[in-house]
Amino acid sequence: MREFNRRGMLGLGVGAGAAAALSVAGCSSTGSSVSSKSGSEGGQSAQPKPIGDGSTAYTGKQPNQPPKPEKLEPGQKPPQFVVFSWDGAGEVGNGLFPRFRKLAKDHDASMTFFLSGLYLLPESKKRMYRPPNNPVGHTEIEFLTDEHVRMTLKNLRAAWLEGHEIGTHFNGHFCREGSGSVKHWTPAQWDDEIEQAMGFVTKWRTNTGFTDLEPLPFDYSKELVGARTPCLLGQENLLPTAKKRGWRYDASSPGGLQVWPTKKQGIWDFPLQGIPFPGHSFPVLSMDYNILANQSKNSTKGPPANYPGWRKQATGAYIAGFQRAYETNRAPFFVGNHFEQWNGGIYMDAVEEAIKHIAGGKNKDVRLVSFRQLCDWLDAQDPQVLSDLRRLNVGEKFTGRG
């Protein structure tokens, strides 16, 4: 179900969760380290307009978005952007989705939630899914129970209204070796997978029969502008399809460096990054599962006696990655996660502690944003200013004016 090399620098976890948040944030008026959103800007329409079977609805511009991105002057120090993203974004009754929504609200943060489309499809309808190069109805993640589908829908709705981004983690999470792996999918097969994922989101009311839940408050055909592939595989053939669909970014590159991002095939490339790994001479990829792969060797239930030390090490890795960027080249810092209880939930605790550290008042001009918000800011900049920032290597200090 997961692939990684011996130092955990390639793989991605799967499981029942995770994705990411949305929007570009501005510096708060108090000079704190988090974004300042405008609650009144882009509020909801008084009359939602149902789309299709009423699973989704147009409700106006997304609320809780930041002001229009400001343009850097040549030589001006950029803000420190941080994106926390979640692969899967399913709520399975463990309270992790609402836990991190509340944490984001407490710290004025936006996140990106990469929704797995199958998390809105009842298992009784599994044969509706026709995965490329795999048997009909087959998947390498578990379907959610009907009650957990309901919980996921409620959390997705609330997350979008709170200002977060809803991206996609596609559907069946095929990353084993063999012809069925996403690694071997063609652009046309990626397009088919995306179309099915969108269908599961936009037709959940028909597929589930639920009549007592409110619609998702967005037009998914416009909301969906980016993704992360299973196990960070298949990006090369995904990008032509992403470009054709007008997507703005992809977050599927493995083993990236903490440098300013570039575009691939006209799409912003936001890779998970190699970050300092306390106690080791090699880096670890900035994702919970990759830290786990180095600590408990692909087991999600290692010896409980190791949990306190591993929790501290994971927290230290996230904080070290942030501090290195913040104190040097100010490259955006990307963290990927899953709503999981691996090794007793220590990685959830580590992410929470990292967010609290990053959003602390001592860190000035730090913005916790979604990938979509980061795209907004990057697209608003002078290309030469971004080109100058890209010349800064990992750990190379920004020397322009503050």
Higher pLDDT, 51 or 6: 51
Name the amino acid, one letter, at 251. Answer: A
Residue from 6, 11, 87 nearest 255 by CA: 11
Give pLDDT, residue 255: 82
Domain assignment present for residue 47? The answer is yes
Give me the residues paired with residue 264 across strands: 267
Q: Is residue 341 part of a domain?
A: yes
Confidence label for 3 from pLDDT (cuts 50, 70 and 90) = very low
Residue whose C-alpha is closest to residue 283's, from 326, 333, 318? 318
Tokens of 92: 């399975």
* Domain assignment of residue 317, yes or no: yes
Q: What is the pLDDT of residue 318?
A: 98
Neighbour tally for 25: CB within 10 Å: 29
8 domain residue, yes or no: no
- On whether residue 398 sits in a domain, the answer given is no
DSSP-assigned letters across all residues of 140-194: SSPPPPHHHHHHHHHHHHHHHHTT-EEEE--SS---SSSTTSGGG--HHHHHHHH
Mean pLDDT to the nearest integer, 58-82: 96
pTM: 0.90
Choice among 33-37, 120-124, 176-180 with the minimum mean pLDDT: 33-37
Query: pLDDT per residue over 144-187, tens digit each?
Result: 999 999 999 999 999 999 999 999 999 999 998 898 999 999 99
Band (pLDDT 50/70/90 cuts) for residue 300 is: very high
Exposure b/e, 274-306, CB count within 10 A at least 16 = b: bbbbeeeeebbbbbbbbbbbbbbeeebebeeee
**Mean pLDDT throughout 217-238?**
97
Number of domains making up the chain = 1
In this predicted structure, what is the pLDDT of residue 27? 27
Cα 60 to its chain centre, rounded Å, is 23
Indicate whether 61 belongs to any domain.
yes
User: What's the whole-number mean pLDDT along residues 35-50?
Assistant: 60
Assess if residue 400 is contained within a domain. no
Q: Check if the beta carbon of residue 185 is closer than 8 Å to that of residue 234.
A: yes
Per-residue model confidence (pLDDT) at position 46: 53
Q: Tens of pLDDT along 233-284?
A: 999 999 999 999 999 999 999 889 999 999 999 999 999 999 999 999 999 9
The yes-or-no verdict on residue 8 having pLDDT over 50 is no
- Tokens (6 digits) for 235: 């990006």
Return the pLDDT at 363.
87
| pLDDT beyond 80 at 10 | no
Residue 18 has pLDDT above 50, yes or no: no
Determine the structural domain holding residue 82 and report its residue range. 19-390
The pLDDT value recorded for residue 42 is 43
Q: 3-state DSSP call for residue 296?
A: coil
CATH number at residue 287: 3.20.20.370
Residue 80's pLDDT is: 98
Task: Quote the pLDDT of residue 360.
Answer: 87
User: Stretch 102-120: mean pLDDT, rounded?
Assistant: 98
Q: 304-358 pLDDT, tens per residue?
A: 999 999 999 999 999 999 999 999 999 999 999 999 999 999 999 999 999 999 9
pLDDT band of 136, cuts 50, 70, 90: very high
DSSP-derived letter for residue 13 is -
pLDDT, mean over the chain: 90
pLDDT of residue 270: 98
- pLDDT of 11 reads 37
